[in-house]
Structure formats: structure tokens, C-alpha cells
Amino acid sequence: MGTHTYVGRSTPRIDGADKVTGAARFVDDLAFGPDLLHAEVVASPHAHARILAIDAHRAEQVPGVVRVLTGKDLPFSFGLYMKDRHVFARDRVRFVGEQVAAVIARTPKAATRAARLVDVTYEELPAVLDAATALADDAERIHPDLAEYPHVPWFYPHPDTNIAHWRKLRKGDVEAAFADADVVLEDTYTVPRYAHAAIEPHAVVAQLSHAGRLTVWTASQSPYTQRHLFAEALGLSHQDIRVITPYVGGGFGGKAGVTMEIIGAALATTVRGHPVKLHWSREQEFANTYQRQGVTAHLKVGARHDGTITALRHTLHWDAGAYVEYGANVVNAAGISATGPYRIDNVHLDSLCVYTNLPPGGPYRGFGYSEFTFGLESHLDRLADELGLDPVELRRRNAIVEGDDLPYGAPMNPSGLREAIDRAAAAIDWGVVEPDPAPHVKVGKGFAAFWKAPAMPPNAGSAAFLKFNEDGSVNISVSGMELGQGYLTAMAQIAAEVLAVPPARIRVETPDTDRNGYEWQTVASHVTWSSGNAVLAAATEAREQILDAVHRAHGHEMASLYLEDEEVRSTDDPGLALPLREIVVDGVQDPRDGTFKGGPVVGSGRFMPEFATTRSDPETGQGGKPNVHYTVGAAGLVLEVDVETGKLNVRKVALAVDAGQAINPVAVEGQILGGVLQGLATVLYEDLRFDDAGRLLNPTFTDYKIPTALDIPDEVVPIIVEVAQPDGPFGARGVGEHTMIPLAPLVANAIEDAVGVRLTAMPITAERLFLTLDGQPD
């Protein structure tokens, strides 16, 4: 490979995007005052190269430039689960678009102009652009220092390879079970990379005061986790860091953990007193934030003639990208759950997190489950055909139920999987053959089941603070994020149920780590369950304070007192009706002596799943309880296939999900509709494409297609199953990610039902389907 000097370049902004958001950005800039500075990064043009020299002399001469900084100035490393990444690349770059330097200037134009004048000399190295190549014995080692990276104890990196983590799970005797099986079916399935494609791009403003106080404004799913990682990386105390996060304009996992936000935080430490703003363009949003990891899945399944699945070997090779500090946990989560929601006695799972020279992979809605479910649920339809069984019946016979052993040995939680299967099948008239609307248009039906557990550390906690106001209204402080999923409303509803105060009189505040209670992150579809439990505890504490004050002032037995319609009432005294607004701040006056009992009512609550543990045998995965519970469901789809063009039209999707107890049924139905559409997008439209040098070819919405309202199926039938989660608030469990998980195999199964061809690679575009029908390779 040669040595080259490149004039450092920042990724150009999209003109249209600037026109749309320019006014909003100007208003935001005014909010931070005239001392606001602007940053622009210098990005690598190479997928893999050594950094030989960085010359910032010309950039520093641009009027308005304050500083030019590189990895030598800010040698900080960071990572949520594995510290394998630096704020700025130091000795080498590992993907196209990785930041190697940044310019801080007084105007955005000066920062952009100067960034283009930073000269970087590189020595190119061999680029490894797929997992298969990375796993070869003679593959270029992307992280030669892998053995030195700190990581969580449940990660198992393999030094001197490109395997960042290898999750194994072994149960029973797989080889013996395959030998005894009546039918054995084997094949490989591939899923490409995807972008989160949130309409709001990443942005950060950070300011280090002269008193040493760092304040960071972010669009984030993880304010407390960001504070923690900033503290670890920058050497600051947690008490000296404040993260403020307003509403987020789309996350889907892409704004979890830390990506570009740490750049802004680090830059701010070099210009005390000045807020520094960094705002990703759309191209940067595609190329230098988390992407959904690609995966190649090899499946081998054995079964008896009666449909009992007796053996499963599932090997997953994940293209995790250049850094896996978060993405490796996706691999881990899939590796202990890739059996799907089925009772299988003999299991052999291997989930390998593989470094490549593509952008870092990370969390994405579904957290690995969507990816392995495509292959697994496609495979089960083919297995049913081999056995001569109905695909729905095959799933019913093998469906996991309460008390069954999970793959790692713990018992399955209560769930309504069989009910979900039956109701989803009924909703699409499963078993009824639909007439073809035209000779060239064929109709098919697909079916799939799904499950997902919250992928989180065993000690991921939630806290909530609650206070009453003089008029009887309530404020709740939590640090889960409102992403459009209705989280704040659900928290208000939980408190309202306890306090007998209408939800409209309860305000739930967005996160500020200085004032709001702790929340690990808003990921894993766990905040309704976890944060909901904390809010429930805080509301219960507040209620007990109110009732105790009335008991001490009026002498009523505690057991007789209750709240209803914003009043304290008693079963022993029908005439008692104390309005909350009169007593929750001023207290309750004792009629006997005129003193007051109680005072301002405040409540606090916390929750942690004290039963969870990640301790297990690294070679077998047996032992412990790494997952707190599973949410399950099933879905059916009716599809039209135009055999002349390959065009697909989704007539109907019915999706049933077990919410435990739906706190807000309308919000659950919204999650079903949104999940269905996002799931269809991944199978029908979306696909990140890279050239042979590792450059992203479609980093804008011009070339990366996402669905619009015009692409919604003709009919979506949301079905809410409610089998209570014993430790959930009022029995609730999360459903946010689950509703997109089954869509890819639904489409693949429906296509085979309609036209008799099986597609084993995503996305299933009209072009790919047409070429397959025409007998041509795609």
C-alpha cells in the first residue's frame, strides 16, 4: 500500500437539509449567546490506514479559527462495554469517515473551510470489509491491541484475531439429536447493514465553565450513561458533569450510548467558558454513527415427524464494524436467544462479533433479534413443508410456555405466545386460499412468531422523584427519554392510577442529570417496566404520606383511607372528602388542637432487577439469569406479488404482542403500526451499500430509501395480548422493539407461498425478486 497526503475534508452538508434546518439552528445558536463556537471534524478518506502526520498550519491561519485539535491533544478512549475507541483516531483510522481532527471556530463557515485545509498523511493498510474475510487465519488484524482493551466480564474477546466477542450456548447433545431426527434442514441466510435514518441528526453543544463544570446538551437516549462515559474518558467527577436532553426526534437505538457527543464534550474542555457546537450533516449521520450490523446466519434444524423440533445449530457471524464498544452487546443478546420462542432440548449457538473496516455497528431497534429471526422463521416454514405440517401448527406445537427451560436453563416467564399465534392466524384467515386478483398477480400468506428480552446489565436501575404542588398537581422527574413512544404519558398514567389524579394534571419532566432520578438508558424496551416500577414506588410513597397525615390528624384507621377523584376518603366515614390541593403542601389540620400534620408531599422510588445475573459458564452459556423476561408475539401477512415486475403490495398485516398489561393501549397500537412499517422498510427498501474501498455509496435519502405514508400496508390489525408480567407495574412489560422483528420472514414466507421461490438474503426488493423469478442471479 502507498503513502498519501490528503487535504483533510469535512463531510459536506446537504444544501436542502441546511435550508430546512438553518433557521432552527440559528435560533438555537442565539440561545447559547455570542460566545458560541462551532466545530467541524476532519474525516478519514480510507477504510484502514496509518496516520503518519497531521499538519494544521494552513487551517490555523483561517480567520475565525480558535483551535485545531487531534488525537495527540485529546488522547481519550471510551466505550460502554469495551473500551476500544478513541475520541479522535490516533495511530490509525479504521473506517471511512472516522474523525482524525477537529477545528473549533467562531462561525460554521470558518470551521468548515479550515477543516478542508488540514493536511493528513496516511499509509494505507489492507481493508477488511466483511466478516468472512475478517475471520480468515491470515486476515489483517484490525485491532492488534485487542488483548489490552478493558471490557465487561461477560464479553469474551479472542486476542490476535478479529473476534471481539464470542458468545457460546450449549444445551443437550446436538449431534446425537441430529442423528436421531427424521428431518434435518440446513441453509444460510444473510442480512445487510441498515441505517437508523432518524429525521433528527445527531447534535451536541458542550461548555466547560471556568469553575470546571461541564454541561452537555444532547439529543440522546442515554443522558446518564453519557455522563458516566464522559467522566471516565475525560477524567472529570460525575458531580461536575451535567447532561441535559430534551425530546428526541427519532432514536431507534442510534442515539443510545455515546457516539459523536463525546467529541463535543472533549472539544469543550479546551476552550473554557465557550459553548462548542457540533452538528452532523446527513452524510455524517449515515457514515459516522452506529449502523445496524450485518449478519450471516447458518442454520441447521432437526425435527421428528410429529413436528417436535429436537435440535438447533445456529451460527451467527456479525459484521460489527471498526469498533464494537456497544455493538458487541447486540451479538451477546442474540447469542443467548437465537432459538426463538421455542422449546428445544438440544441447542448449539455461536454468535461471533467480528471487527471489519466498515462504520461501527451498534444498537438498533430489535437489538439483533430481527436479524436472526429472518433466517430462523424462514427456516421453520421450510421445515414445516418438509414435514408436511401447517407452519402455524408447527409453531404452536413447539411454542415455549411458562416454566419451560430457556436456552440458558432459567424458567420462562408467563406469556401468551399460543394466544398470540392463534389470534394473528385468525386475523388473516390463515388456511383460507385468497383468489389471485389477476393472472400476473399472485397472493400469498406468511406467518412468524417472535420474542425479545431486554438486553441490559443485571444492575441496570431506574429512579423517580415525585412532588405535589399547591394546587394538587404533580411533577415527576425521571430520566427515561421520550422518543415519540409515549413514555412520559405512560409514567403519568401509572402515577395517576395510584394517586387518583388525572394524567392531565401530572407533568413528567425530560432528563437533566442534575435534578432527575437515575435511568440507565432508554433502550431494550425496558423503561415502561423498569422506570414504571420506580414511578409506581414513588407514587405509592407519596400516597402513604398523604394517608398517614390524615390518619394522625383525624384518627381514621389507615386501612380505611383511600384516594379517589383527587380527594382523601374513608370507608368508615362517608362524609370525609379532603381535597388533595388543600393538604398536600399545607398539611392536614388536627381539629383537636389546631396543629398540622404532614407537610409538602414528595415521593421517591427506585427499581433494580435484583434477581438478574450474567454469571454463566463461558463455554456453555448455562447458569445465571441474564434476561429479566421475554415479550412474545406472532404475526401474519397477506401479500400480492406481481410476477411481471417483482413488485410487492402488502394487503394486510396482523400483529399480536403480549404487553403483559397495556398501560396505554393506544400507544401500544401505535408501536405496532410503527414497528410494522419499519420492519417492512428493512426487508423491502433499505440497504447500505459500500464500494470495494469501504466508502458508503448511498449516504442520503436520495439513494437510501425509507418508507413514507404511501407505503403503509392496506390494513394493519393491532392485537394486544395481556398475560401479566408478575414484577411489572400493574403487570406491564415493554413492546417497543418487538413489533418490527417478524416482518422480514413474514414477507419471505408469503412470497414463497405466492410464487414458490425462497429468498434467503435481504433486502427483498422488486428487482431481486424479479431476477429470481426470471432465473437470473441477483
Alpha carbon distance 234, 258 (integer Å): 13
Which percentage of the chain shows pLDDT scores above 70?
96
Q: What does the pLDDT read at residue 5?
A: 47
Residue 268 C-alpha from the chain's centroid: 28
16-23+460-607 matches 32-125+202-279 in fold: no
Which residue shows C-alpha cell 403480549? 658
Q: What does the pLDDT read at residue 17?
A: 31
Reported as a single tens digit per residue, the pLDDT across 407-463 is: 999 999 999 999 999 999 999 999 999 999 999 999 999 999 999 999 999 999 999
Reported as a single tens digit per residue, the pLDDT across 480-497 is: 999 999 999 999 999 999
8 A C-beta contact, residue 680 and residue 549: no
Tell me the mean pLDDT in the region 688-712: 95
292 Cβ contact partners less than 8 Å away, ≥ 6 residues apart: 193, 194, 195, 196, 253, 361, 362, 364, 371
Going from N- to C-terminal start, the domains of the chain cover 16-23+460-607, 32-125+202-279, 294-456+614-773
Q: What does the pLDDT read at residue 7?
A: 47
Reported as a single tens digit per residue, the pLDDT across 494-505 is: 999 999 999 999
Using 50, 70 and 90 to split pLDDT, how confident is the model at 51? very high
Using 50, 70 and 90 to split pLDDT, how confident is the model at 246? confident
Reported as a single tens digit per residue, the pLDDT across 652-683 is: 999 999 999 999 999 999 999 999 999 999 99
Reported as a single tens digit per residue, the pLDDT across 103-131 is: 999 999 999 999 999 999 999 999 999 99
Q: What does the pLDDT read at residue 16?
A: 30
Give the chain's radius of gyration (CA, Å): 28
* Predicted model pTM: 0.95
Alpha carbon distance 766, 768 (integer Å): 6
Alpha carbon distance 569, 560 (integer Å): 8
CB atoms within 10 A of CB 36: 18
User: Residue 520 corresponds to which amino acid?
Assistant: W
Whole-number average pLDDT of the chain: 95
Can you name the residues that pair with 53 across neighbouring β-strands?
A: 121
Reported as a single tens digit per residue, the pLDDT across 282-302 is: 999 999 999 999 999 999 999
Q: What does the pLDDT read at residue 19?
A: 32
**Of 165, 406, 187, which is closest to residue 293 (Cα–Cα)?**
165
Q: CATH top-level class for 16-23+460-607?
A: alpha beta
Q: What does the pLDDT read at residue 778?
A: 62
- pLDDT score of 27 more than 70: no
32-125+202-279 maps to which CATH number?
3.90.1170.50
Using 50, 70 and 90 to split pLDDT, how confident is the model at 239? very high
The helix (H) or strand (E) run that includes residue 329 is helix 327-335
Alpha carbon distance 109, 75 (integer Å): 27
Write the burial class of residue 68 (CB in 10 Å: 0-12 exposed, 13-18 middle, 19+ buried): buried
Q: What does the pLDDT read at residue 764?
A: 97
Q: Are strands 347-355 and 309-321 parallel, antiparallel or unpaired?
A: parallel
- pLDDT score of 20 more than 60: no
- Grid cell, residue 216, equals 452537555
- pLDDT score of 699 more than 50: yes
- pLDDT score of 15 more than 70: no
8 A C-beta contact, residue 560 and residue 756: no
What is the dihedral sign for C-alpha 263, 266, 267, 272?
Answer: positive
Q: What does the pLDDT read at residue 10?
A: 39
Reported as a single tens digit per residue, the pLDDT across 302-320 is: 999 999 999 999 999 999 9
Reported as a single tens digit per residue, the pLDDT across 524-577 is: 999 999 999 999 999 999 999 999 999 999 999 999 999 999 999 999 999 999
Which percentage of the chain shows pLDDT scores above 90?
94
Name the residue with higher pLDDT: 583 or 27.
Answer: 583
CATH architecture of 294-456+614-773: 2-Layer Sandwich (3.30)
CB atoms within 10 A of CB 216: 27
Q: What does the pLDDT read at residue 776?
A: 73
- pLDDT score of 644 more than 70: yes
Q: What does the pLDDT read at residue 31?
A: 81
Reported as a single tens digit per residue, the pLDDT across 364-382 is: 999 999 999 999 999 999 9
Q: What does the pLDDT read at residue 28?
A: 59
